[in-house]
Copies of this chain bind each other. A is one copy, B any other.
Amino acid sequence: MALAFATAVSFKQVQPVSAPRANPRVVLTARRPQRTAAARRVTMTITSSAKLIDGKAIAETIRQELKAEVDELKAKHGGKTPGLAVVLVGERKDSQTYVRNKKKACEEVGIASFGTDLPETASEDEVLKVVAAYNADPAVHGILVQLPLPKHINEQKVLDAISIEKDVDGFHPLNIGALAMRGRDPLFVPCTPKGCLELLKRSGVQLAGKKAAVVGRSNIVGMPAALLLQREDATVTVIHSRTPDAQKICAEADIIIAACGRAEMVGGDWVKPGAAVIDVGINAVDDPSAKRGYRLVGDVDFAAASERASHITPVPGGVGPMTIAMLLRNCVDGATRTFAAQA
């Protein structure tokens, strides 16, 4: 699952290595692009110690597994398919793209997708009615309300209205409560942190008995990621804006999940040699040399961190593709439970 680092450096700029060294290391920098042919050649022949966790490849594997599962479900339950309903309110371009990608991903694995697009001016009641209809619809096993909602709509109220049996985003407080409590199991776990854990597990990273630092404490990534790691018997510290010595805490961790939303905040000296690093961030930073005038970087200084980490995710192509894969996973899990209860 984890590819050797050198196989995937093409999306990063590489400094030329002037002379062969006794103990050669890949020297990467995302800050000063100097992509020469010589540099690229050197990159392909030497390897850093970090294994790249290829989220795109792992997500593709998971989709294949899900496709097979969906086929099996259909065969077993008279042609019934899992169904996902996506509710979109307003015309945000980014949200439209996310929704389109989710629907496309559903189709590819055989999940039926339903959708309701409401105008920006839709009332809270109208949104709640749509959710209620999907709650009642036996063809729908997962309901996803694309966030953010327009400001006049109470997000919590809408999320709480989703039946927890169909809460494939895992944001319902009942699912979060069950995630926090020992002896309970949530019906669904939020997709992005679930994807982070899946990447670690499929890369053979041990979690039990290890120290983990989660940078960021958002409801959708940091907090549930910390709860998930703790469920796996890791010892977890949650770092946030009020943490005085974040670097020191990170530097003692065997596992880092960076989800603070600040470009390259986790520097190389934040990474303990041999640590596994999962980078959830996607930040656009100005780059006049890039075609679009910007490039995407994570919350981790990838170049520096990959010299010390045992495993690391790239941005893009790391956690990103896993979020949708986990959404599909949750949707199939929900349908499987429903079909089993009906059988």
Contacts and interface: CB of A to CB of B under 8 A. Distances in A.
21 contacts: A156-B183, A156-B184, A173-B173, A173-B174, A173-B181, A173-B184, A176-B176, A176-B180, A177-B178, A180-B227, A182-B217, A211-B244, A217-B230, A233-B242, A234-B242, A235-B238, A235-B239, A235-B243, A235-B244, A235-B249, A236-B237
A249 B212 CA distance: 12
Given A173-B173, A181-B223, 9 more contacts: A172-B177, A173-B174, A179-B180, A180-B223, A182-B218, A217-B230, A235-B238, A235-B240, A236-B238
Q: Which of A175, A211, A230, A242 has the most CB of B within 10 A?
A: A242
Contacts of A242: 208-209, 233-235
Contacts of A184: 156, 173
The binding surface of chain A is classed by DSSP as mixed
A239 B233 CA distance: 10
Contacts of A211: 244
Question: What copy number does this chain have within its complex?
Answer: 2
A178 B172 CA distance: 9
Contact of A219 (B172, B183, B209, B235): B183
Interface of A: 156, 172-184, 208-209, 211, 217-219, 223, 227, 230, 233-240, 242-244, 249
A3 B218 CA distance: 39
Nearest to A230: B238
Nearest to A155: B183
B183 A173 contact: no
A229 B26 CA distance: 42
A180 B182 contact: no
A229 B175 CA distance: 21
